[in-house]
Amino acid sequence: MRVVIMGCGRVGAGLAQQLFREGHDVTILDTDAFAFQRLLPKFQGRRLHGSGTDDRTLIEAGIENADVFVAVASGDNRNILASQKAKEMYGVKRVVTRVKDPLRAELFERLGLETFSPTKVGIELARDAMMRDGTMRDGTVRGETGAAGEGTR
């Protein structure tokens, strides 16, 4: 699979390395060349210094022949702009977009992007952790035999 990843943060770098290990053709973009130091030396994919919202960079990255475009740069709006461009202007079949704002993630999912919101996932994880062992399930602390919660020691 030919994959273009926008954003070499923790998620971008990690994803790029994993996909490369799995044998995919990976190009990773970042506006800050410094970000590429997150990649281990054994990553042999392509590093490209430039913005994923810029057509010249996208073309240089091979967007016209890419199978997948993944936008995981830091700004929601830039991820959305680049993703809609990849999908609408360059006909990339599979476009995955990180949108931190859950509302925006919902809207652009509805408008045809494949979005995911780490914020939403984080909220769910935090909530699940809070509810573990029956604590706070309905606003009360439960479990007489050592359930986690204030005053139960």
Partner 1 sequence: MYIIVSGGGNVGYGIALELQQLPDYEVTIVELSANRASSLRDEIGEMVVHGDGSEIAFLETVGASRADLVIALTADDGANLVTAQVARHWFKVPRVIARVNDPRNEPLFRKLGVDSIVSASGAVMAQIEATLPEHTLIPLMALESAGLQIVTMRVQEGAEVAGRNLRDLQFPSGVLITIVIGPDGAETPSGDTVLRPGHEIIAVVPKDAEDTLRAMVTAPLPEEDD
Q: Is 89 in the site for partner 1 (CB under 8 A)?
A: yes
CB atoms near residue 134 (< 10 Å):
14
CB atoms near residue 88 (< 10 Å):
11
Q: Is 121 in the site for partner 1 (CB under 8 A)?
A: no
Region from 20-28, 30-38, 98-106, 122-130 binding partner 1, contact rule CB under 8 A: 98-106
Q: If DSSP codes are grouped into helix, strand and coil, which group holds residue 1?
A: coil
Per-residue tokens: 103:
């509302």
Count of residues interacting with partner 1 (CB under 8 A): 21
Q: Is 100 in the site for partner 1 (CB under 8 A)?
A: no
The DSSP output letter for 8 is -
User: x/- contact string, 35-74, with partner 1 (CB under 8 A)?
Assistant: ------------------xxx-------------------
Query: Rounded distance, CA 15 to CA 64, Å?
Result: 21
Q: If DSSP codes are grouped into helix, strand and coil, which group holds residue 20?
A: helix
Sites of contact with partner 1 (CB under 8 A): 53-55, 75-78, 80-82, 84-85, 88-89, 101, 103-104, 107-108, 110-111
